[in-house]
Amino acid sequence: MRVLVSVDMEGIAGIVDVEDVRPGEREYERNRALMTAEANAAVLGVYDAEPDAEVLVSDAHAQFRNLLPEKLDRRATLLRGTPKSFGMMAGIAEDVHAVIFIGYHGRAGLAHSVLSHTINGSVVAEVRCNDRVLGELGLNAALAAAHGAVPILVAGDETVATEATGVARGIWSVVVKRALGARAAENLHPEEACARIRAAVPQALRRRARVRPLRFAGEVDLEVDVLTPAMAEHALLVPGIELLGERTLAYEAEDFPTAYRVIQLIALLGRL
């Protein structure tokens, strides 16, 4: 069995503020260790269930250089650095059987959700695929499904757990903190969070056949709202991207993986 573990940072237990996840800030180095510990909990859970499994761990936060390589379970392979094909989901392919999301957060615009955003909170206001609003979890679950992999578990706050029910029916959720606001939460102790993740992974693997993830068949009508009109300008240099209104970029993708790449491109160009 081949399993991909995609690890973001904002949904890790104990993390509540932008400064917690930003390199160079006082809390960042400690929080890298917390992130790595939750990643290891997922990896251990996979090996508890499948000792012969192959586990890929994709660093999925910011510039994808957050996990501590020397602290990661030595049996796992780490995908690190940028650019990476499919970004947060680097490593996804037709030979991956299951995907686990650790440290995930709610989509952009979601109220009472810890550090909620989509792809890049300084650029993207909302993403819609065939008129359906999706955050990072929804986009990544659909990308997994497009490659034949099953999204089996998500860990984060209770808002991403609720979001999960709408994008992957039957997915297992581990709530490691409960939102008190956009930058406040009631958190489990990090060791308790890791214990719950490790215990949940074997159960999620056993019941993966019950999961019904969101799937997009054929062409995808993509719309991305950026925060300001200026952020749309560079993206309009890309053939096929059109402007709808002042801040909405549109693209007709031949399939979902193509739409996913275009979202990444818009987020990148919007920062220029």
DSSP-derived 3-state class of residue 77? strand
Q: How far is CA 199 from CA 48, 103, 187, 196, in A?
A: 9, 16, 18, 5
With 0-12 / 13-18 / 19 or more C-beta atoms within 10 angstroms meaning exposed / middle / buried, residue 132 is middle
Intra-chain end-to-end CA distance of the chain, in Å: 41
CA dist., res. 9 & res. 156, Å (int) = 9
| C-alpha count within 13 angstroms, C-beta hemisphere, residue 150 | 20
Q: How far is CA 239 from CA 11, 169, 242, 244, 253, in A?
A: 35, 36, 8, 15, 12
Nearest to 143 by CA among 129, 125, 161: 129
Q: How far is CA 160 from CA 105, 110, 136, 251, in A?
A: 5, 10, 10, 27
CA dist., res. 61 & res. 81, Å (int) = 10
Residue tagged active-site, from 105, 117, 147, 189: 117
Q: What is the dihedral of CA 231, 232, 234, 240, to 10 degrees?
A: 160
Q: Note if 97 is an active site residue.
A: no
Angle at 78 between CA 104 and CA 30, to 5 degrees: 60
Active site residues: 117
